[in-house]
Structures are given as C-alpha cells and as structure tokens.
Chain A
C-alpha cells in the first residue's frame, strides 16, 4: 500500500509497537482536528510519566486489588473441557471484576491520570453501557463530574445500564446523529472534547482512537495477561498455554490478554469477531471483511462502502457492534501473529448456554463469541494442550436480549 508513509517490518525477537508517533506499522496515528493535537501530546507525556512512576503504579495496583477485586481467578473449566473432549480449558475471570467486566481496569487507570492532569470533567462514550458504567463508577469514586454519550437507540436497548449510570451520578447524553449507536456516541464525545479541551478528560473505552489511547488502554489491561501467566505457572507449572482466545469488538480485553504473550511464538492467539447474522448479512467482522481506513482518529480496518463512507455494524452484542477495531489488531492481523475468527449471533447464544450449563457461569454476549469457537478449536488441538479464554464479562446485562432471542 503506497499511500502509507510508515512501514514496519515483522518483529523478530521483541515486539515494540507502537512507534514514537503512535503507529502500529501502517495503522494507528493521530487523525484528529488540530485542537486535539496539544491535548494528545499532553496526555501522551502524562501517561509516559505516570506509567514509569512507582507512586502511580502503587496507587493503580492498590485500586485494582482493593476496589476492582484483582487478581481475578483463573478457573479450570473441567466440565467444559470434558464436554468438548479436547485440550484443558481455563477461564480468566474478568467477569468477577467490580461492575462485571474487564472495562474497569482501564477506567481506574485513566481516572488516576485525569486527576494527575488536573482535569475536573470526565466524558466517555458507551455502546452497551458497560464502559459507561465503569466510567461513571470511577468518577463517583473520585468525585468528578461525568458525562456519558450513548446512542439514542442504545439508550432504549440498554435501559438497565442507563439507570446504573444515573444512579452513580453520571449524566447520560443521547447521541441523536447518524445511526444513534456507539459510532455516533464516539463522534459526540470527540466533539465535546474539541469544545472543552482545557478541563475535560476523555476516557476512551477500548484500544481505539488517536495515539496514545490504543497503547494506553492496552497497558491498563495488561494486568489480565500478567496475572494469567503467574496463575498458569502455579496451576500447570508453565506460564504459557498453547492457545489464547478472546472476543474482539474494539479489542481491549483481547489486547490485555494477548500482549504479554506476543513474543511467545508457541502460543497461538485467537481473536473472535461478531459475524452477526452471518458474514453475507449484517455483521461486525471488521478485521475479517473490512478494509483499512480512518475513523475516530486512527487508521485501522474499517467497515466501509466503496465510497469510503462508514457502514453500520450489527451484532446481537451491543459491545461488539462497532464498524472499527483497534489499530494494533489490524497490525497483528497483517503480521499473522493473531488469527481472527468469527461467531454469529446464533453461535454466541449457543456459547452462553454452553458455559452456563457446563460451568455455572453466564457470560456476557461479547464473551460468548469467544466461547463459541471453542468446540471447533478443541477439535483442532490435542488433549494435553491448554487453552486460556478471556471470560471478559458477565451476562446479567444481556438477559433481556438472550431471552428475546431464544
């Protein structure tokens, strides 16, 4: 692709993306209005300082332990393993985090950064409402004003999370433009930030957006993979499984689990996208069927038409219902380091049932996409091998959707 000005070769010994300008090979970057350039520069500097500052790390780790409830368990799924008749399956239990999903690892980190930068007003975008709830939660904990943008359609579909956010003291503002879903809520949040750069901190909920967000959000989720290595060593005598599986919408839970394994060539990494009604129908399989493009500040794979207009995504899972994806996933796809597969709405619902009935765990519909590929993956692997699946969230929020679907 000659349109790109940056080219990076395949990493050999150690993986070091992104580069200093926030590019993951051809992807990433800072495609934003000029007003945000100084804000992103300040954020990049503040994050770099905080990340290597022992006092910040202590505060962040203490909150993860005492407030989020980490470390989350690594649960051996014995009955699921038995049911699938293949490799041993372990579940990384992010569903047991406070607020019910991995999202809070990131919001805790970003709100500490916001406080360090002297910002008094927090904004966020949300699709299903999980990131909105995780943001409203930490804003309440730190006593900061919080405004969450949410598509008007999603407000209808995810009313329980809207009420949770309001109870936590956040203002939920409907995004009434375009498709009135996550994509439009993100546009509105960016417009708010452009209009209020001095006092406002934008807590982005996934490994998307302009640099440094994809890197920063990934780093705030690394704890998922770091714990997994330690826990697998304790339980199996080895830090590395043979395969790691996670769902990918924007891709934050996947990056948090994948990243500490990127340099371990023996670990196969699988990202699972939402195939919606099927890949020939409405779907959200950005990496599988999209083309590189720019949305929300970064170059990445994108669902778009021939004229470069962004297409609407569809998934039964509101958290995967996004036409873009994190730029690092685009890079890892092109490198061939991660294999991206898909699961349909119907397969995801089967995934919910499978985990519920074998393990007594009702996963979020997002998570269920990762569960859904296990029967097939198990057939491709040997019984002495080990799979770790990111159980990224719990399914209470989806009961209405699941019941309506069944």
Chain B
C-alpha cells in the first residue's frame, strides 16, 4: 500500500510570525518538499482551531494583516513557484470582502483553491458558483462521523481534494490512539471518494504519524506542529534568520521523507 509517494500539504497563517516572515517560510517549505501550501487567512474567532493556530491568528491580526495581504503573499509566492497554493479561512471575512471579488482576486493572485472550515456543503451556495467561475477548487472536509452517503455527496461537490479530518476534534489535538478505528475510517473514505484525492490532516506531528495516517490516503496535511516549531524558532534569539529558515526547510523534508 505504501508504494506511491504521499503528497504533503503544509499550513501557515498569513502574517505569522510577522508579515515579513511569511513568504520566506513558505519558500522554505516549498524547498523542503511541500506538494501544496495552505495559506491561512486569520480570523478573530477560529472555532475549529486548537491553541497553536489560534495563537498564530491572533499574532497575525495583531500585525494588522488583511485579506489583501494574503493575495500579495500568494502573488509573491506564485512568482517563483508552481506549487499549488490554497487559501484556508473562515467565511465571515470573505463575505465582508465580497465573495465574487474575493474569488477573482484570489485567482488572479495565483491561488488554486479554497478550504473554508465553517462552510459545509449545506451553505456552499454563498461561495461555490463564484469559486467555480473564477477557477478555484473547493475543498470540503469529511470527519470520522460522516456517513457513507454523505462522503459520496461531498466527493461529488468537491474539487482539488477531499480533506479527511483524522479525528473528531480541533486542529493540533492528539491523534486518536484507536489505530484500527482510524484505519477503518480512512479506508472507508478512500473507497467512497472516487473523483478526488483524499488527504488526511489534524494531529499529524511527525513523519511516522504522516506515514501511518496516509497509508490509506493520497497524502497528508500538517499545520499546528509547524506553527509550534516556528514559535520556538522565532522566539529563540540565538538563531539567525537563515538558521531558522534552514530548520523550517529541514522540518518539511523530514516530515515527508523521514530521517533526522
């Protein structure tokens, strides 16, 4: 089952740890082997997030980061890389910006798709047509408690990939230690999702976690563990900027390929 290389998606909040750091970190992740980037648009009330991503959002908002800054980051990233980039965020700032304008601006900045954790398929009418018109993929999430027929429906609506949340929990939680149950869920997801790749995320911290969870999927996503690493590196005054970026790149590489 583990023959094919697994796709790795890495999440970073735009404007974190500072607006000037985001782009070089994304480029280090890209160089370290990221197959796609999830760029987070910070929100004041990120209710699906655990503490690391909450902190990163608060820090970015503290720097006055706005939607336009995410477009700028995307554009600057896209100027030097073909690696797919998706925007992740909560619906309210997008509604406020104007959905149609948002989708067009995102696409013209080189963004490939959207992941909106508080926009389940039930409410997709606010965004889906605008996204499609602009040429943006719409990723939807499934979870261990999502029924079979709903997984199939979500697959039919999704484009880009289907995001399989590994646990019933928030980002940055511990992984479910009932390995058989997790494996059974991901196998079920892989069987029912026929139109899209399946990527698993939430709770993955190491290469071992990543390989174990992506055994039945096409790849994996890491966010909170990366945010924690960046907090540690950027709080360490003894490190130079280049040393920090080198460690970020090494983290990405190790997540994907193992080793130390």
* Residue contact A31 to B119, C-beta cutoff 8 Å: yes
Q: Is A9 an interface residue (CB 8 A)?
A: no
Q: Contacts of A35 on B, CB cut-off 8 Å?
A: 143, 145, 165, 168-169
* Residue contact B140 to A34, C-beta cutoff 8 Å: yes
* Residue contact A38 to B146, C-beta cutoff 8 Å: yes
B residues 232-249 near A (Cβ < 8 Å) are: none
* Residue contact B122 to A21, C-beta cutoff 8 Å: yes
Report A290-311 CB contacts with B as 1/0, cut-off 8 Å. 0111111100001010111110
Q: Is B173 an interface residue (CB 8 A)?
A: yes
* Residue contact A293 to B168, C-beta cutoff 8 Å: no
* Residue contact B126 to A3, C-beta cutoff 8 Å: yes
* Residue contact A308 to B120, C-beta cutoff 8 Å: no
A residues 116-143 near B (Cβ < 8 Å) are: none
Q: Contacts of B145 on A, CB cut-off 8 Å?
A: 35, 38-39, 197-198
Nearest B-chain residue to A291, judged by Cβ:
B96
* Residue contact A293 to B92, C-beta cutoff 8 Å: yes
* Residue contact B123 to A29, C-beta cutoff 8 Å: yes
Report A268-304 CB contacts with B as 1/0, cut-off 8 Å. 0000000000000000000000011111110000101
Q: Is B67 an interface residue (CB 8 A)?
A: yes
Q: Is A5 an interface residue (CB 8 A)?
A: yes
B residues 110-151 near A (Cβ < 8 Å) are: 117-120, 122-123, 125-126, 140-143, 145-147, 150
Complex Cα gap A35–B147 (Å): 11
Q: In whole Å, how far is B180's beta carbon from the nearest beta carbon of chain A? A: 17
Q: Is B66 an interface residue (CB 8 A)?
A: yes
* Residue contact B47 to A33, C-beta cutoff 8 Å: yes
Identify the interface centre among A37, A291, A304: most chain B CB within 10 Å of its CB: A37
* Residue contact A307 to B66, C-beta cutoff 8 Å: yes
* Residue contact A31 to B146, C-beta cutoff 8 Å: no
Complex Cα gap A341–B61 (Å): 33
Q: Contacts of A196 on B, CB cut-off 8 Å?
A: 168
Q: Contacts of B146 on A, CB cut-off 8 Å?
A: 34, 37-38
Complex Cα gap A281–B241 (Å): 43
* Residue contact B47 to A187, C-beta cutoff 8 Å: yes
* Residue contact B118 to A308, C-beta cutoff 8 Å: no
In the complex with contacts A38-B147, A187-B47, A194-B169, A309-B61 CB distance below 8 A: yes
A residues 2-47 near B (Cβ < 8 Å) are: 3-6, 21, 29-35, 37-39
Q: In whole Å, how far is B52's beta carbon from the nearest beta carbon of chain A? A: 12
In the complex with contacts A21-B122, A35-B143, A194-B170 CB distance below 8 A: yes
Q: Is A353 an interface residue (CB 8 A)?
A: no
* Residue contact B147 to A31, C-beta cutoff 8 Å: no
Complex Cα gap A5–B141 (Å): 21
Partner of B45, one of A37, A194, A310: A310
Q: Is A266 an interface residue (CB 8 A)?
A: no
* Residue contact A191 to B47, C-beta cutoff 8 Å: yes
* Residue contact A295 to B92, C-beta cutoff 8 Å: yes
Number of A-B contacts (CB under 8 A): 122
Complex Cα gap A306–B97 (Å): 8
Complex Cα gap A197–B167 (Å): 11
Partner of B95, one of A6, A21, A294: A294
Nearest B-chain residue to A197, judged by Cβ:
B168
Q: Is A195 an interface residue (CB 8 A)?
A: yes
In the complex with contacts A294-B118, A310-B92, A33-B48 CB distance below 8 A: yes
Q: Is A178 an interface residue (CB 8 A)?
A: yes
Q: In whole Å, how far is A177's beta carbon from the nearest beta carbon of chain B? A: 6
Q: Is B175 an interface residue (CB 8 A)?
A: no
* Residue contact B48 to A194, C-beta cutoff 8 Å: yes
Q: Contacts of A33 on B, CB cut-off 8 Å?
A: 47-48, 117-118, 120, 141, 143, 165
Q: Is A257 an interface residue (CB 8 A)?
A: no
Nearest A-chain residue to B66, judged by Cβ:
A307
In the complex with contacts A31-B91, A195-B173, A308-B96 CB distance below 8 A: yes
Nearest A-chain residue to B143, judged by Cβ:
A35
Q: Is B74 an interface residue (CB 8 A)?
A: no
Q: Is A190 an interface residue (CB 8 A)?
A: yes
* Residue contact A32 to B118, C-beta cutoff 8 Å: yes
Q: Is A183 an interface residue (CB 8 A)?
A: yes
Q: In whole Å, how far is A298's beta carbon from the nearest beta carbon of chain B? A: 10
Q: Contacts of A304 on B, CB cut-off 8 Å?
A: 92, 96
Complex Cα gap A260–B169 (Å): 39
Nearest B-chain residue to A36, judged by Cβ:
B120
In the complex with contacts A30-B123, A34-B141, A304-B96, A190-B173 CB distance below 8 A: no
Known: A34-B140, A34-B143, A178-B58. 13 other contacts (CB 8 A): A5-B123, A21-B122, A29-B123, A31-B91, A35-B165, A37-B146, A38-B150, A187-B45, A187-B47, A191-B48, A195-B169, A294-B91, A304-B92
**What residues of chain A have their CB less than 8 Å away from a CB belonging to chain B?**
3-6, 21, 29-35, 37-39, 177-178, 183-184, 187, 190-191, 194-198, 291-297, 302, 304, 306-310
Q: Which 6 A-B pairs have the closest CB atoms?
A: A5-B125, A308-B96, A308-B93, A309-B44, A35-B143, A195-B169
- Provide 26 A-B residue pairs closer than 8 Å at the C-beta atoms, listed in order of the A residue: A3-B95, A4-B126, A32-B120, A33-B48, A33-B118, A34-B143, A35-B143, A35-B145, A38-B145, A38-B150, A39-B145, A178-B45, A191-B170, A194-B169, A195-B169, A195-B173, A198-B168, A294-B118, A296-B47, A297-B118, A304-B92, A304-B96, A307-B93, A307-B96, A308-B93, A310-B44
